[in-house]
């Protein structure tokens, strides 16, 4: 029931910062010479003096208000870089009352005057409709002007425009070209953007073969998406042996940067002991952090731990509450799990109608687990129409090679579930198919057929082999069958040591029937 380390896809990365700081120029001449230039109204001198006060450089105290004063004078003298920097301080409210309208006016004037930084910032404002009417076509025009001057962030902004069709027709190839230009200019986030497109095959085979190198550069530049992409590759192997330790290292770095998806993946790794010692208490904390960062999949992950008492006290009410949040946020696993809480009355009042509603919603979205749960609920209604719908749902899943659905059909035709007339031949056929698909219940039911005989010639050895295979996959009923057979001499000689071995494994797996049989054994 552990959540997958591969969460649902969401927005890839945020747009570039609207008002990034301007690059600092080389240190100015010392002291009075610069003051004299500024006093004479020299625009460059004023700008450099402003930077000194802004950064506390050149022996001057940090004085943002004085920096604003110098930038105003430099801007009035026609210095476009100062005009852009003044806009940044006005937008941020540093050294001056925040005035976004005045900031946008500074950016517009600098952009129209040909200053690349102003062009890029004004372009971003136009894309976002921030302080100015949204105009993505104009945003593209100003971003192109800035990019033509070599502004790396402007290339990234154009890449976003071409990727999502903002102000231009979508064109992933051109998006990739701009992201790569931005990456070469030292933009870490652009490395992640390009690597993601390349890894998906959107930029062609040649790019797909070298995405990892660009992502590595992104990691060096501190980009969380690059870290996450490389972590996935390490986790899955990506043509090489999986490196779970490296995956955890990368997820940890990205989580420290506030990446929600990486935080959720790290929580899964901690809960399962993958690449790091199992630490379910830490996993709980990480799932909560991921939730706070907006990750929906983490809602279900935390609920799993609460429901099973892993990493802390068992809390069915808390688990149900988190699953409800996940379901309402559109998470399909959450819909299935919340439906199970409602169907069983775990942590919430039992409500089969509400459970059916959540199952149907997730089933409509193609969630196989919810489809099976819906079928199980319908089988329990004892109504002919519900029975027919349940069989149709399970048979559709069986045609899609769903081993669990095949095992459920085997149970139905064995007379174990629902009120469908028993049909041993069909039950055996579905058990065989489920077993072929690797399902542990399929192994169990097929083992029953051979151990008992009837629908097939009795073959106790083959039945035992299938039960053992089912047990090795963690099926509690198989532990019980093996232990019971050795305890009572059912088809094999009595062997109390073998009985104890299998029954103790069943008890460890939580099978109550094994506990009862173990008590019987102790009484001998």
Identify the CATH number of the domain in which residue 505 sits: 1.25.40.10
What is the structure's pLDDT at 31? 52
Give me the domain span that covers residue 508: 402-417+427-522
Q: How many CA atoms lie within 13 A of 240 on its CB side?
A: 9
pLDDT, residue 396, reads: 98
Question: How far is residue 349's CA from residue 343's CA, in Å, rounded to a whole number?
Answer: 9
Residue 469 lies in a domain: yes
Tokens linked to 420: 């469908």
Which of these ranges, 29-43, 59-73, 269-283, 380-394, has the smallest mean pLDDT?
A: 29-43
Please report the pLDDT score of residue 21 as a whole number. Answer: 46
Measured torsion, CA atoms of residues 438, 501, 271, 368, in degrees rounded to the nearest 10: 30
* Model confidence at 312: pLDDT above 50: yes
- The 10 Å Cβ neighbour count of residue 360 is 16
Determine phi and psi for 516, rounding to 5 degrees: -65, -45
Direct distance between the N- and C-terminal alpha carbons of the chain, in angstroms, rounded to an integer: 37
Q: At what angle do helices 280-292 and 297-308 cross, to 10 degrees?
A: 150
Dist. CA 521–CA 105, nearest whole Å: 86
| pLDDT tens per residue across span 200-238 | 999 999 999 999 999 999 999 999 999 999 999 999 987
pLDDT(12) > 80 = no
Q: What is the pLDDT of residues 178-195, one digit of tens each?
A: 999 999 999 999 999 999
- Whether pLDDT at 391 is above 60: yes
Residue 488 forms part of a structural domain: yes
Query: What tens digit of pLDDT does each residue of 125-148 get?
Result: 999 999 999 999 999 999 999 999
Tell me whether residue 467 is in a domain: yes
Rg over CA atoms, the chain: 32
Query: Can you give the pLDDT at residue 522?
Result: 85
Question: How confident is the model over 42-68, as a mean pLDDT?
Answer: 91
**Angstrom distance (rounded) from CA 83 to CA 44:** 12
Q: Using CA atoms in the order 46, 49, 51, 54, what is the torsion angle rounded to 10 degrees?
A: -120
Band (9; pLDDT cuts 50, 70, 90)? very low
Which pLDDT does position 22 carry in this prediction?
A: 53
Residue 73 in domain: no
Q: What is the pLDDT of residue 32?
A: 67
- On whether residue 450 sits in a domain, the answer given is yes
Minimum mean pLDDT range among 28-32, 158-162, 268-272, 435-439: 28-32
Query: Which range among 35-44, 100-109, 242-251, 283-292 shows the weakest confidence by mean pLDDT?
Result: 35-44
Residue 23 has pLDDT above 60, yes or no: no
- H-type alpha helices, 329-421: 332-344, 352-364, 368-379, 384-399, 403-413
Instruction: Evaluate whether residue 188 is within a structural domain.
Output: no
Please count the structural domains in the chain: 1
Q: What mean pLDDT is predicted for residues 291-313?
A: 97
Block residue for tokens 């009862």: 516
Is the pLDDT assigned to residue 27 strictly greater than 70? no
In a domain, 108, yes or no: no
Rounded Cα distance between 495 and 482, Å, is 11
Within a domain: 432: yes
| Structural tokens at position 92 | 């941020």
Q: Residue 194, Cα to own-chain centre: how many angstroms?
A: 19
Can you tell me the mean pLDDT for 5-23? Answer: 40
Look at 41-55, 281-295, 435-449 and tell me which has the smallest mean pLDDT: 41-55
Q: What is the mean pLDDT of the chain?
A: 92
The answer, yes or no, to whether residue 465 has pLDDT greater than 70, is yes
CA angle in degrees (0–180, nearest 5) for 314-318-319: 75
In the predicted model, what is the mean pLDDT of residues 473-497? 90
- DSSP label of 266: H
Q: Which residue has the higher pLDDT, 25 or 522?
A: 522
Q: Whose CA is closest to 176, among 167, 163, 166, 188?
A: 163
């Amino acid at each position: 029931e552990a959540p997958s380390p591969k969460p649902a896809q969401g927005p890839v990365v945020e747009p570039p910062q609207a008002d990034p700081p301007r690059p600092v120029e080389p240190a100015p001449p010392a002291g009075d010479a610069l003051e004299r230039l500024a006093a004479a109204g020299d625009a460059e001198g004023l700008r450099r003096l402003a930077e000194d006060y802004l950064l506390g450089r050149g022996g001057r105290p940090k004085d943002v208000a004085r920096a604003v004063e110098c930038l105003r004078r430099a801007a009035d003298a026609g210095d476009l870089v100062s005009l852009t920097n003044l806009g940044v301080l006005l937008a941020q409210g540093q050294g001056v009352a925040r005035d976004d309208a005045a900031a946008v006016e500074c950016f517009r004037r600098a952009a129209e005057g040909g200053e690349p930084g102003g062009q890029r910032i004004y372009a971003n404002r136009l894309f976002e409709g921030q302080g100015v009417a949204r105009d993505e076509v104009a945003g593209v025009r100003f971003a192109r002007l800035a990019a033509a001057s070599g502004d790396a962030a402007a290339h990234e902004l154009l890449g976003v425009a071409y990727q999502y069709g903002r102000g231009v027709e979508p064109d992933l190839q051109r998006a990739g070209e701009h992201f790569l230009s931005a990456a070469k200019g030292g933009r870490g986030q652009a490395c992640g953007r390009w690597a993601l497109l390349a890894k998906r095959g959107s930029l062609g085979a040649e790019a797909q073969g070298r995405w990892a190198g660009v992502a590595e550069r992104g990691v060096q530049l501190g980009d969380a998406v690059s870290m996450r992409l490389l972590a996935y590759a390490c986790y899955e192997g990506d043509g090489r042996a999986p490196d779970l330790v490296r995956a955890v290292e990368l997820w940890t770095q990205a989580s420290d940067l506030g990446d929600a998806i990486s935080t959720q993946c790290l929580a899964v790794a901690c809960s399962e002991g993958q690449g790091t010692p199992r630490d379910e208490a830490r996993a709980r904390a990480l799932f909560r952090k991921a939730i706070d960062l907006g990750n929906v999949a983490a809602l279900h992950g935390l609920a799993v731990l609460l429901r099973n008492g892993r990493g802390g006290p068992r809390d069915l009410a808390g688990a149900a509450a988190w699953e409800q949040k996940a379901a309402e946020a559109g998470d399909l696993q959450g819909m299935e799990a919340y439906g199970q809480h409602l169907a069983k009355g775990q942590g919430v009042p039992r409500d089969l109608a509400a459970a059916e509603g959540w199952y149907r919603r997730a089933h409509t979205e193609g969630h196989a687990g919810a489809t099976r749960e819906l079928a199980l609920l319908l089988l329990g209604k004892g109504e002919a129409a519900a029975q027919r719908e349940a069989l149709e749902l399970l048979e559709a899943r069986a045609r899609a090679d769903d081993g669990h659905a095949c095992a459920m059909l085997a149970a139905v035709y064995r007379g174990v579930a629902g009120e469908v007339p028993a049909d041993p031949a069909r039950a055996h056929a579905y058990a065989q198919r489920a077993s072929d698909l690797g399902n542990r219940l399929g192994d169990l039911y097929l083992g029953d057929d051979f151990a008992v005989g009837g629908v097939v010639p009795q073959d106790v050895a083959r039945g035992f082999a299938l039960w053992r295979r089912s047990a090795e996959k963690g099926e509690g009923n198989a532990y019980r069958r093996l232990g019971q057979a050795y305890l009572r001499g059912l088809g094999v000689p009595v062997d109390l040591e073998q009985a104890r071995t299998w029954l103790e494994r069943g008890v460890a797996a939580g099978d109550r029937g094994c506990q009862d049989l173990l008590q019987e054994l102790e009484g001998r």
